[in-house]
Amino acid sequence: MKASRVTVSTFGTILGIAGLEHGVGEILQGNKAPESIFIQSWPNNQLYEILNGEPAMTIIPNYILTGILAIIVSAVLIVWAILFIERKHGGLIFLLLSFIALLVGGGVAGPVLIGIIVGLTSTRIDTEFTWMNTHLSTRDSLSRIWKYSYSVSVIGWFSLWPGLIILGMFVPVIEPLIVIFLTLLSFTSMLLTIVSSFAYDSIKNNGFPENGLTTSA
C-alpha cells in the first residue's frame, strides 16, 4: 500500500475518532438546547479543562441530537478514510463529510484543519510529482523520514487525547503550554509526513529498493 494512502487513512481515522469523542460528550449533556451555535463538548468537566472543554459548533438545537449526528458522521468518516478515500472523488467526499461533522458538533479548529488537509492530500495520491524525480537528494532524504514523522504525529495526536485526559487523572495541574507544544508538534509532523509519504511513493514507483534508494546498473 502506498505511504500516502496509509497517511491519509490514518489521519482521517484520527479525525473520526475525535468526532466520536465530541459526540459522546454532547450526548451526556442531555436533552436540552445549546445557548448558541458555539458549544463545548465537555463543559464543567475537570479533566477536559486543559482542552478548554473541547470546543465545537452545531446547527442542531439539541445536545443529544447533536451528539448522535456527530457520532454517525464521524463513524462514516472513519469508514470512508479506511476503505474509500482513494476512489474517484473520494477526497472531495471526505471534505464534505468533514464539513458536515463541523456543523453537527464534531469539533472545530484542529478537526477542521485535519479534515481539509486530509481531503486535499487524498486527491493527490495518484499524482506524479515530477520535481521529486529531478531533486533526487531531497526526495531521498524526505523518504527516509516518513516512518519517523508518521510515528511522531500519531503519538502527538493521541497524546492530546486521550493522553492529557489520562494524565489529568493523576496530575492535579497540567501546564497549558503542553497543549500548545503537542498541537504544534502533531500538526508539523503531520505535514512533514504527508510530504515525505509522496517522496517515499516516488521512490517505490520508480523501482528503487526501500532501504538503499539506489539501484545497481
pLDDT tens for 133-147 read: 666 788 899 999 999
pLDDT tens for 62-120 read: 999 999 999 999 999 999 999 999 888 999 999 999 999 999 999 998 888 899 999 99
Q: Are 11 and 192 in contact (CB under 8 A)?
A: no
Cell numbers for 206: 520508480
Give the CA distances from residue 155 to residues 37, 63, 80, 158, 206, in Å, rounded to whole numbers and listed in that order. Answer: 31, 31, 22, 5, 31
Q: Where are the beta strands (DSSP E) in the chain?
A: 38-40, 55-57
pLDDT tens for 35-67 read: 999 999 999 999 999 999 999 999 999 999 999
Rounded to whole angstroms, the Cα distance separating 186 from 117 reads: 13
Report the predicted TM-score, pTM, of the whole model to 2 decimal places. 0.90
Q: Where are the domains of the chain?
A: 3-205
